[in-house]
Chain A
Amino acid sequence: MSVDESQFLATMSGYFKPRHNWRDATGKGVTVAIVDSGIESDHADLAGKVVESVEARVDGNRVIFDPSNAGDSAGHGTACAGIIARIAPDAKFASIKVLGAGGLGDGQVFLAGLEYAIRRQYKVINLSLGTTKPQFFAPLHDLLDRAYQAGCIVVAAANNLPQPSFPSVFSSSLISVIKSEETDPMKFGFRYGQIIELTAPGVNVRTAWVGGGHRNLTGNSFACPHITGIVARFVEGYPNLTPFQVKSALYAIARENQGRENL
């Protein structure tokens, strides 16, 4: 670990004065990949922020990503980008549209979207989607290992339902998030010993929506981008942070947020 990074982590635990204060960071110079339903790039909250926009096309057994001006077919990707933009206002976005291809947003398309983000070496990847299909367990595990080794930080939403979803249960290789009723966007928490380790606001979150408007939304999907936004702030000051370091930093800050009593 370089000096900068050790100082960064120590800062998170509150022992040193920070050289780079993530609380003042804005995500400048960081591009966040959003694997979702697309992003409405001309939404007032997101104007000028979408630097790449591609959408999946299924061609036989292959999934191809073409440049896209289709926007957002459902609103979900725009909502996620809106939350990240509020926390990291200078972050840029790469929209990787995997929902709506062939209608079913097939698991294979979802996997291909993640692989595309890793190949393009986007440092921060937001996955507010998931699958419970057992056949995708192994391929997703492999992809997340590749992301980990490439230093990509993948933040995934937990399934809101009782059964486990992938990839959020692969806790070693990514950051997984479940919703809390907290209203302060910066106040996330850590659930020590749980598979889904982090909590973040995910109830009645007001954010951008298709058609230029805003909605109040509830779901783990909207907790996930809160953490993604925070990670974009970290990466602004420390572009080479590894997923492990990011997780350690999130843990340290969550301890501060929770007043160190709920460990």
Chain B
Amino acid sequence: MSRDDVTELEAKLRQLIETIDVARLMTDPLTTSIKGLLSSSAANMDSEEASVIIRDGDAGDLRFLAAIGKVADRLLEMRIPAGKGIAGFVVSSGQPIAITDVGEESSFYAEVDRATGYSTQTILATPLRYNGEVIGVLEYVNRRGDPPFRPFTPAEMDQAAIYADSIAAMVNAYEAAKLFSDLSNKVLSSTGEMDFTDVRNWIAALRGSSENRERLDLAVLIREVSGRGDAERKLCRELLEAIVRFSDEKSETSYLSY
């Protein structure tokens, strides 16, 4: 293929990507599945409203990824500031919680209720965990039928934890798909040389365990260094080999040999 062919192909590919909205194509099936599971789980929990709340950026703010119920559309527009309210607590503590009389005084939920016109009375909130990390919150709000609503029971709390496991796996897939589509969009729309600072910034924004982040950072660093020339590549390789040798020797030390 000649250089001209490659350029033409790239242009076509960019045009295609811009037309089909890759981001939505990759993430829509996942949000639909999350919403579906949310609906059926809410029915089983005898709950009127349910939502999946995920982390939004590194500052700890939260946003609604999926919601069902009367005010679902309003919720999807809302952001929860870091550490605020029940969802903020559940994300930062990893502890599930069930509460009644939620909106009775001034509280974050009273604010949400004022904004949505809804009346939150009882909530069950449980963390969404993936690989030990809390990636969001699953909330069930109120019961079907008329108030007063009976509180959520310990058995329902256990049930919600099981739903949370499945939803967390889907949320993780959603975030991975979103990250990948953002990344590929950026790569395809960039001209000329790839800027590794940008890639690093994306990786930093990648929600996931800090261990994963470090691994990805290392991979990007190696890619960057090896792209700088033969001497750099050789030095990088020698250094890494030395580290592996050092690590091998260290791992031979057993506590039993003391």
Contact = CB atoms under 8 A, between A and B. Distances in A.
- Interface majority SS on A: helix, strand, loop or mixed? loop
Size bin of chain B's contact surface = 35 or more
Nearest to A97: B83
A138 interface: no
Given A74-B83, A74-B85, A135-B211, A130 B107 contact: no
B219 interface: no
Contacts of B94: 129-132, 159, 165
Contacts of A214: 101
Contact of B93 (A99, A161, A181, A217): A99
Contacts, number: 135
Contacts of B136: none
Interface in A153-175: 157, 159-163, 165
Given A100-B82, A135-B210, A37 B93 contact: yes
B172 to A, nearest CB: 15
Given A73-B88, A74-B89, A212 B105 contact: yes
Interface string A120-162: 0000000011111111000000000000000000000101111
A211 B101 CA distance: 13
Interface string B13-54: 000000000000000000000000000000000000000000
Given A103-B92, A135-B211, A218-B152, A160 B161 contact: yes
Nearest to A202: B154
Nearest to A221: B95
B102 interface: yes
A103 B97 contact: no
Given A76-B93, A204-B151, A218 B98 contact: yes
Interface string B72-104: 000000000011111011011111111111101
Given A99-B83, A216-B100, A218-B152, 8 more contacts: A104-B92, A105-B92, A133-B133, A165-B94, A211-B106, A214-B101, A215-B99, A219-B157
Interface of A: 36-37, 73-76, 99-100, 102-105, 128-135, 157, 159-163, 165, 179, 181, 202-204, 209-221
Closest 5 CB pairs of A and B: A103-B60, A105-B92, A103-B82, A100-B83, A74-B89
Interface of B: 55, 58-61, 82-86, 88-89, 91-102, 104-107, 126-127, 129, 132-133, 151-154, 157-158, 161, 164, 209-211
